[in-house]
Structure 1
């Protein structure tokens, strides 16, 4: 064999061995699927929160993006043979998922033991991932141009001076729209068990002010920057994030209380790799993961042991101050007739 031929054969063998090794390494890498909001949440978790877990466990975490109702529908369609390992849902939707038997109990872990009772749901069948608040956000530019004082109450959505400048997310697809409706319903004398006052009053009070009912929040900032949205139900977390990007926006906790809006996670029953799914769920509520979510995406932690400094710590302190007066809705009452409310909303409010 010539030297050149021997060298070529050796090179080919080496290349083949490297390809084989790479193939084995790739084969050993497992994939975990997590249902989660797309957009900013998917970006932050994929870029910053998942990588330490992926590296430590030789796995790839892939987001299945969608709204809470989208993710719930996917989980329902594969009940008993789940294709996703974990799903994150708004707290109200998570209560429905637990009742449907889609979640399995979280295994005890050091991080779970750090989470306060308010963020542990239904005997640990789900746990909070991020703590949020729905209040009223407003365009500080439009308000300054008009000489308007910041809003102070959920009732301000009905103030005639905001005609054509209110944007609300649809109740069937959004917690923000539901929260606003239920707080307005309370002002009108109703409760989660009696929504007649809200349905009676909204079409002639808030309704005329609404320029558009939108399916999700991704459009609202664009509408605000175009001058079409001056005031809208929105979260403290997203407002802080937009403000940090230089967008002229403010957040108000109405005097009746902002509404606790927790993003929760659960391990899906019958998922393909339960041990790893439970491990990921425990990691996501650990101080390390919670800090990464807060620093890079303003996702306020549910774990009180999360180490924060500087601007992130200041934002968390502002959140805690609002939380002290926040309202927790009666989700059992809401979910008992949510489908009926959604139909009424479409028929009587968004007609």
Structure 2
């Protein structure tokens, strides 16, 4: 038996190295925050110990440009997640995949021939700090923000830097016109980042911010009773996000396994519980998981993503003019 030990040890070392050499790998490009990405990757590797996940994090725009620049020699395998309008602009860089989970996603959020798949949606809301609002009352809708009583009390992220702010203000213009938009611009304080805006309201520096549902709800869930989410009476706007497989990826099989994991209901429920990213799956009712309304009960104003993209530069120029005219 003792004579066999060296051979057994050599065999185990060889088997371990062979298993390591045969282990799969997948490179994930993601614009999600560190906590959300780490949570998902940890769970995936627990369920798929034969696959190593490497993560590259950056903004959606930067990652799209990187994927395009690497087209001849892709270094990433899968992108998760960014605005569907942005993914659509770079559709030539992605590989179709007919997901087993696709049936749970409304057709409007699926790419042609499975080119991308919607994962979650940001709902535009007004986040109000009732300790700072006039009379302790939040605004009821977009038109209220044009009232002079809100001057200096509204904070809005720069729409040139914040895609969520751009969607909200572009939608506001389409819904109520240039005059109301200009009045809102005159009342608002403009800041450089989305986080600086909603953090300013949470700290009581401002009364109201135009922001995303998940960011505002974190404070409600955290116990700040003075924070209230307002879904504007005139209607609000959606910013759907999704994922896609990178064309010519070096690890296509592993990428498809990660894709299916990210699309699965249990994964999206866990992401919602930790980060309040509202799933697009029709079989998940977030009103049963948190004190948020079901998506079907929210008045939504549809926006044309393609038109919004082509009109972006002109809108930003107009917004700048309105802000400078104050």
Common fold, TM-score beyond 0.5? yes
1:296 and 2:270 correspond: no
Q: Give the whole-Å Cα distance in 2 for the aligned partners of 1:229 and 1:24.
A: 59
| Correspondent of 2:288 among 313, 329, 336 | 313
Q: Give the whole-Å Cα distance in 2 for the aligned partners of 1:165 and 1:223.
A: 11
The answer to whether the 8 A contact 1:139-1:231 is kept is yes
Partner of residue 94, structure 1? 87
- Structure 2: segments with no counterpart, 5+ residues: none
The answer to whether the 8 A contact 1:30-1:60 is kept is yes
Q: Give the whole-Å Cα distance in 2 for the aligned partners of 1:80 and 1:316.
A: 47
Superposed CA offset, 1:269-302 (max 9, x none): 1222222222322221112212221222222222
Q: Give the whole-Å Cα distance in 2 for the aligned partners of 1:317 and 1:150.
A: 17
1:335 and 2:309 correspond: yes
Superposed CA offset, 1:202-232 (max 9, x none): 45x22232223323x2223432233323211
The answer to whether the 8 A contact 1:157-1:209 is kept is yes
1:239 and 2:216 correspond: yes
Question: What is the CA-CA distance between 1:89 and the residue it aligns to?
Answer: 0.8
Partner of residue 126, structure 1? 116
Partner of residue 69, structure 1? 61
Question: What is the CA-CA distance between 1:121 and the residue it aligns to?
Answer: 3.0
Question: Alpha carbons of 1:293 and 1:226: their partners in 2 closer, same or farther (altered >3 Å)?
Answer: closer
Paired positions, count: 321
Question: What is the CA-CA distance between 1:129 and the residue it aligns to?
Answer: 0.7
Superposed CA offset, 1:212-253 (max 9, x none): 3323x2223432233323211112222222211123422111
Question: Alpha carbons of 1:130 and 1:187: their partners in 2 closer, same or farther (altered >3 Å)?
Answer: closer
Partner of residue 179, structure 1? 167
Question: What is the CA-CA distance between 1:343 and the residue it aligns to?
Answer: 5.1
CA RMSD of aligned residues (A): 3.2
1:32 and 2:7 correspond: no
Q: Give the whole-Å Cα distance in 2 for the aligned partners of 1:24 and 1:316.
A: 50
Partner of residue 229, structure 2? 251
1:269 and 2:263 correspond: no
Q: TM-score, normalising length from structure 1?
A: 0.78
- Structure 1: segments with no counterpart, 5+ residues: 1-5, 190-196
Question: What is the CA-CA distance between 1:29 and the residue it aligns to?
Answer: 3.6
Partner of residue 140, structure 2? 152
1:226 and 2:226 correspond: no
Partner of residue 262, structure 2? 284
Q: Give the whole-Å Cα distance in 1 for the aligned partners of 2:106 and 2:49.
A: 27
Q: TM-score, normalising length from structure 2?
A: 0.84
Superposed CA offset, 1:240-267 (max 9, x none): 2221112342211112211112121111
Superposed CA offset, 1:160-214 (max 9, x none): 222222222222332221122123212444xxxxxxx37xx645x2223222332
Question: Alpha carbons of 1:266 and 1:17: their partners in 2 closer, same or farther (altered >3 Å)?
Answer: same
Question: Alpha carbons of 1:58 and 1:336: their partners in 2 closer, same or farther (altered >3 Å)?
Answer: same
| Correspondent of 1:139 among 126, 129, 136 | 129
Q: Counterpart of 1:171 in 2: which secondary structure?
A: coil
